[in-house]
Structure 1
Amino acid sequence: MEAQMQTLPRPWLHAIACAGILALLLSTPFSLAQQPASADAAQQAFNNSCRTCHSVKEGDNRLGPNLSKIVGRNAGSLPNYNYSQSMKEAGFVWDQDKLTRFMLRPDEVVSGNKMQPYGGVSADEAAKVIAYLQAVSSQ
């Protein structure tokens, strides 16, 4: 009988183990989200989402304006680029928050922009793109 009791599971032991596993699972996404994007991941996000139309080289306007030093720039103000009227009249300065919101839902930030049919990216991709833009702007 004593041998049987040692092999039976202890309910409190299972509860502690489950609580530990649950804590690990719940903390993982938060710790991963707080990790800065690697330079390669950030550049890859830019390449996947933006490079078709934009460059990060000053003066290299393509279908979209170059994004060199975009943070701190007035929206619709880059010389030698034909912005939509709505972008020219947007009346704000690009900062991290505005760029993120624009990459997520461009029409909600500047209705009538020229980024059609671009529909936006995930918040994770937007964070990586901004990390890349900030890194190349500081070089």
Structure 2
Amino acid sequence: MKQLARAAVATTLLACQAHAQDAADGARLFKQRCGACHQIDSTRNGVGPHLQGVIGRTAGTLEGFRYSPAMQGSGINWDAAQLDTYLTNPGGLIKGTRMTQRFAKADERKAIIDFLATH
């Protein structure tokens, strides 16, 4: 019984370490790949809208940012699955979006999305 408990604790610790590493990777990737256009530590908009609270937000609705008509009319509610699809190929999900940056690697998309979920 004690061995099972130790195994469960070890598994939990490894999962926590992996999550912490994903968050660190996500922060680094966000800064490198997204930070030129999007803010996360500020509600200031840049070339793109700030991304604080993006998970759960309806696309194209952030007050104070001028979205493309395509984004405004998309009706998408941002969740992890929608963001993953969008980051893979923005124009494939929303034809007419202004965003052109693509993320081919699933692990990078996941790390960025996990990072966004913390803000």
Q: What TM-score do you get using the length of structure 2 for normalisation?
A: 0.78
Partner of 1:14: none
Matched, 1:67 2:42: no
Out of 93, 101, 105, the position equivalent to 2:85 is 101
Percent identity between the aligned chains?
30
Partner of 1:134: 117
Matched, 1:123 2:112: no
Q: Any runs of at least 4 consecutive aligned residues in structure 1 with deviations exceeding 6 A, and if so which? A: none
User: Whose relative contact order is higher, 1 or 2, with alpha carbons under 8 Å and at least 6 apart?
Assistant: 2
Q: What TM-score do you get using the length of structure 1 for normalisation?
A: 0.68
Q: How does 1:3-18 map to 2 (within 5 A)?
A: none
Partner of 2:63: 79
Aligned length: 101
Q: Return the offset for 1:122.
A: 1.6
Q: Residues 61, 72 of structure 1: CA spacing in aligned structure 2 closer, same or farther, 3 A cutoff? A: same
Q: Which has the larger radius of gyration?
A: 1
Letter matched to residue 55 of structure 1: Q
